[in-house]
Structure 1
Amino acid sequence: MTSQLPPRETDHYTQLADAAVVTTRALLAARENIADTIDARAMMCLHGPAGVGKTLAANVCLRELERTRGEEVCRIAFRARPTARAVRHELFTALGLPGEPPRHPSEFDRLLLDSLAAQPRTLVVDEAQGLNRETFEYFRYLWDEPATQIAIVFVGGAGAHTVLRREPMLSSRIFIWQQFTRLTPGEVLDVIPLFHPVWEDADPADLSFADEQAAHGNFRAWDQLTAHMRTALERTGRPRPDRDLLRWAFSRLA
């Protein structure tokens, strides 16, 4: 089985060398929640603002379940607001079905239902904030079929949560909701020194300064800041971050 999840080296936004996946409280909760959702063959929603680690957490946890349980994960992402027709075609590709996609919706639906009933699978739907009621309803239709053996993990911004909560028929079927939030100031001091060697010996006051001025508890912003700080240290030969280097890095983020 070939994994459809992106490779580990792409986990961080800038593909930063030497960056670690840090076991935050949110990641630990996601690991438990995703495992419980798969055990129940249920649906869950990971939601929160951009850059707080939702997709990374889902990828890390699902790779582990692929490795330890042999769970087959089919990853689906949409760039724009899709229709049910687009969902059908994306699933056809993700499931690796042979031949040409059927022309008629009823025939297409039967093919997908039969395939999803053949073996247990987890569908991970990234960028789910781009889905609308029609497409969420289509995933519900597939999941509601008694013969299918699927779990579904929706990963998206606040828009995904809003659409799901607006429709009782949809929201009542979500087994677990998990909201991702920004790192707290205390978590920054605990987590960031483990995230990358650049910050190992940094003064905690400088870490707090960097978070207050630029990163604001957002992992993607910390990723960008780390890349710039790594460049600054290499160019200046200084042993650790300081306020001057931090301000230089901030200027690149403005």
Structure 2
Amino acid sequence: MTSGHLPPAPTDQYVPLPDARLVSTRALLTARENLTDTIEARAMMCVHGGAGFGKTIAVTSCLRALEPAEDIRRITFHARATTRAVRHELHTALELPGPPPRYASEFDHLLKSALATHPRTLVLDEAQWLQSDQLEYVRYLWDDPYTQLAVIFVGGEGCHHTLTKEPMLSSRIFIWQHFTRLTPDEVLDAIPLYHPIWADADLDDVAFADQHAAHGNFRNWARLTAHTLTALERTGRTRVDQEVLRWAFSRLGAGS
């Protein structure tokens, strides 16, 4: 697990692409509204969807725009966690002074007291790794009448199933948002705005790239863009064409 403040903007991209832009897709604009409404209500929200569909970057960029007025802390889970580990990660994320308490009752009192001092938003990324006890613990902290907490669960396709198995928690989720692949029409609207090499490309070639390699997945588009930039540099070409794309596809294991 990693915990603390939101990461800096340059780390948002899956691969380093200095000229890449954050595109205001329909899903991102919806997330911005949903996050704002959830935080104003001091409620809980779940953002879920397949890998590479843009969930984390959408949530992070939208929340970053609310700082510093909103105190936002994030914990990212990389494997199954214990409730004890969640307590310790909260201690770190909230930057509480002193060593963590040894006993659960003392620890819970410390965390609830800290969460009652001022409004905060807690982002739990890769939340599909959480189990029943940890989800119940988050609900327990949020339900306390004195804590001023908004909770944003972000996770893969399994996240929705994980949360809905816990009726005490899922019945309290204020907003559910499901991220999906970009449709072919959304690809043609969004990708030319994503990076300059696509702004100058023929839309038929953009559609060709999506059909054979990217499949409406932003993470795939990031990888494809990086390899296409390499192809342009090595061939001396200035514009994307299908020959360049086929070379990039060969690095991705994509069809030709």
The interval holding the TM-score normalised by the smaller chain is over 0.9
Distance 1:112 1:25 in 2: 37
Q: Distance in 2 between matches of 1:132 and 1:182?
A: 27
- After TM superposition, the runs of 4+ consecutive aligned structure 1 residues lying more than 3 A away are none
Hey, what does 1:18 align to over in structure 2?
A: 19
The aligned runs of 1:46-85 (5 Å cut-off) are: 46-67=47-68, 70-85=69-84
Q: In structure 2, how many angstroms separate the alpha carbons of the residues matched to 1:239 and 1:152?
A: 46
Whole-Å Cα distance in 1 between the matches of residues 142 and 210 of structure 2?
42
2:118 equivalent in structure 1:
119
How far does residue 235 in structure 1 lie from its aligned partner after superposition? 1.2
Letter in 2 for 1:38: I
Instruction: Indicate yes or no: 2:15 matched with 1:8.
Output: no
Letter in 1 for 2:26: R
In structure 2, the residue matched to 1:143 is 142
Q: Which runs of 5+ in 1 are unaligned?
A: none
Q: 1 CA distance for matches of 2:157 and 2:240?
A: 34
Report the counterpart of residue 173 of structure 1 in structure 2.
172
- CA drift of 1:166 comes to 1.7
Shift of 1:15: 2.1
1:12-61 deviation per Cα after TM superposition (whole angstroms, max 9, x unaligned): 10021100000000000000000000000000000000000000001101
Structure 2 Cα separation of the partners of residues 93 and 27 of structure 1? 29
Q: Distance in 1 between matches of 2:10 and 2:232?
A: 23
Amino acid at match of 1:46: V
Q: Give the deviation of 1:163 after TM superposition.
A: 1.1
Distance 2:120 2:222 in 1: 32
Deviations 1:123-155 (A, max 9, x none): 001111111111111100000000000000001
CA distance in 1: counterparts of 2:197 and 2:127, whole angstroms: 34
Name the residue aligned to 2:218. Answer: 219
Q: C-alpha separation between the residues in 2 aligned to 1:78 and 1:157?
A: 12
Corresponding letter in the other structure for 1:245: V
Q: What TM-score do the two structures reach when normalised by structure 1?
A: 0.97
Tell me the equivalent position of 1:100: 99
Structure 2, unaligned stretches of length 5 or more?
Answer: none
CA RMSD of aligned residues (A): 0.9
- Residue 245 of structure 1 corresponds to 244
Number of equivalent positions: 250
Identity rate of aligned residues, in percent? 66
